[in-house]
Amino acid sequence: MNNGRVVITGIGAVSPLGLDVQSTWDALISGKSGVGPITAFDTESFETKIAAQVKDFDGTDYFERKQARHMDRYTQFAAVASRQAVEQARLTFEEPEEIGVVIGSGIGGLSTLSLQFDVLAQRGPRKISPFLVPMMITDGAPGQISIMLGARGPNYCVTSACSSGADALGAAYEMVRRGDANAVVAGGTEASITPIGIAGFNAAGALSVRNEEPEKASRPFDAERDGFVMGEGAAILVLESLSYAQRRGANILAELASYGATSDAFHITQPSEGGEGGARALKLALKKAGLEPEVIDYINAHGTSTPLNDRSETLAIKSVFNEAAYKIPISSTKSMMGHLIGAAGAIEAIICVMAIKHGIVPPTINLTDDDPDCDLDYVANVARPVKVRAAVSNSFGFGGHNSVLVVREYQEDH
């Protein structure tokens, strides 16, 4: 049995700003953008020609060539980030049945699926790779990570669009609280910067087309925002019961205090009117954490840079925090990393951990033109020193998903 508290002991990341947590964090605090022209394919006929790609990543630098060939890019990202997190946590697998793996991905192996469609069209069904299905499916990543680590506890994928990473952490949090695992390697991963991925989001009218100024394209809460910028990468955390972490003498980075999730039941892509669904998720997460709104020191916003999301999220925050909403530093790190879809909630949870650890919050860059509907403190353009004891991370997704995590400073007597 555990004591109901869940702590974070390891973090790992592969992002458009760096191939580990520290380089990513340093770039965020510096206000550096990871957005640029797409180099993965020819964008001449595409409306959007920019994205936040992971740079200088080659799977064969981390895995044997044959193994790398049998892992989609989204799985490779997750596996590398998992190794980083497990190494930092100094997590051993002497009791492998007590360690689980829960990874979120909204789309899965889209690059593999796209390539194999070309094979089918050009060479016929007999030439399709036997590895198509295990490389394509969203639970290919947690399956590969479970095998790589030897983790034999619960192992599955969570898919809830842009909430996938947050929901994976939420599922892992509840798993540890129930006593179904002592520790869980959890987070999110995505690699959907492909022709069909960009074309699909363009068709939905979701992406920025500010192609001439890539670094200024993602501008959450700004009056001139015109859509989000696609990102890619992975973020993984090691979650443990407090009793297990203490028993093994782990270094505790922070505490995952609660998780709240709701559904809009409103529209497949648009948020509910007035941010009602997001507000309910925020209230639920705060209630489960036993925290009053006034004690939250930082909010990492979903902040996609779409007209509807940013306005709706602002309304949700105001309805929950009331006058305190104007005093809380809020930032959207998507302004620098783009939108990592299924990995977004996980990388933003890690940012909350780092803000607690370092006493500084990253900025929302490209915030230069005030939108009267978005009038809160979004930490415009420059990072800010802030004593962060409790932070909230918002994630909202197509399908009406609203997921909120509360991360707080670890103290023995909480």
Report, as residue numbers or ranges, the catalytic residues: 162, 302, 339
- CA neighbor of 349 nearest in space, from 285, 312, 319, 392: 392
Structure tokens that stand for 136 in this block: 């394509």
Per-residue DSSP letter, 261: E
Give me 398's structure tokens.
Answer: 């197509």
Which residues have a Cβ under 8 Å from the Cβ of 75 and sit 6 or more positions away?
Answer: 109, 135, 140, 141, 144, 189
Closest by Cα among 284, 393, 299, 380 to 346: 393
* Strand 6-14 versus strand 254-263 pairing type: antiparallel
Q: Alpha-carbon distance 187 to 395, whole Å?
A: 13
Q: Which amino acid is at 381?
A: N
Q: What is the DSSP letter of 165?
A: H
Read off the tokens for 267: 């529209």
Q: How far apart are CA 326 and CA 293, in angstroms?
A: 12
Q: Where are the alpha helices (DSSP H) in 293-375?
A: 307-321, 334-337, 344-358
Contact 225, 303 (CB under 8 A): no
Angle formed by the axes of helices 276-289 and 307-321, nearest 10°: 40
How far, in Å, CA of 189 to CA of 262, rounded? 22
CA distance 78 to 81: 5
Whether 345 and 164 have beta carbons less than 8 Å apart is answered as yes
Helix (H, G, I), strand (E, B) or coil at 204: coil
Cα gap 135→105, rounded to integer Å = 13
| Cβ pair 1, 176 in contact under 8 A | no
